[in-house]
Each structure stands twice: as structure tokens, then as C-alpha cells.
Amino acid sequence: MEYRITTKSELETIELAQNFESEKFPNMIICLNGELGSGKTMFTKGIANALGINETITSPTFSIIKEYLYGELPLYHMDVYRLDGDTDSVGIEDYFNKGGVVVIEWADTIKDILPNERLDIKFVAVDENKRLLILEPHGRKYEELCEAVL
């Protein structure tokens, strides 16, 4: 099943992410895909804010993984664009069971190692402010997550 939602501003994207955070659970995996500037990092900021993380959230483009350990749950924010599919030296899979919320930008580039159960969100920029988010849950708990939030 696929869900579609349109946000009309950065604030609405952040609010949507905060709604997902309200239903959080340990080892939650959220995979974000979309063009540059489509709202992936903004969505992550919303999750971090709702987790009570006070640090500035930026895309970990060059560091690959940023760990935010001081919130209700740890947040592991990844940007795997530069890996070009080569994940052997990074240990990304280790984060899937660390008890936190994992958000992966450009997740399509590492499809082969993603867990079977996860939430995929594709961001499509409709215009300067409007974004179409296409959510595809994989697994019952992610289907229930979408039902609870949307």
C-alpha cells in the first residue's frame, strides 16, 4: 500500500515528521529519497526536534552518519549519496539494531542492505514550497505507523 500527502511549506513538512516521531519505536528505519532540496533534511529536522534534540541538524553529506544521542531516543542521521553503493567500510547495518531512530537520505543507493521492514518516503518538489510525499511502508508496524499518523 502507498500513501500520498502534500505539504505546502517547510513548516508542514516538519509537523508531519513530528507526527511520525510521536509514534516512534526503537529501531525505527525511515528511508528518504528525492531530488536535492526536496525536503529530506527538513523532515529529519522535524523528527529531531520532536525527539528533544537541541543540536542543529544538517545533512551529513561528507561525514555520512551523524549521531544525536541526547533525545528521547538516539537519532542516527545518514546521507549515503556519496557511498555510491559501497557500504562495507561504514557499518551502516550496525545502526539498524542500536535502539534508535535511523533516518537515511538517498536510501535508494543502498537498497541491497536495507532491512525488509522499514518506511520509504519519496519527496517530490511540486513547486517552490509544495512537496508531495509518497510513503510506502514495508511491514505491519510501518503500516500501522502510517495509519496512526495520516
Q: Which domains does the chain have, with CATH numbers?
A: 3-149 (3.40.50.300)
pTM of the model: 0.94
Taking all residues of the chain, what is their mean pLDDT, rounded to a whole number? Answer: 92
Among residues 148, 136, 147, 150, which one has the least CA distance to residue 29? 136
Structure confidence at residue 60 (pLDDT): 82
> What nine digits make up the cell of 31?
528511508
What's 91's DSSP letter? Answer: T
Bridge partners (DSSP) listed for residue 30:
103, 119
At 84 the pLDDT is 67
Q: Is the pLDDT of residue 113 over 80?
A: yes
Contacts of 112 (CB under 8 A, 6+ apart): 85
Compute the distance between CA of residue 14 and CA of residue 47 in angstroms, rounded to an integer. 7
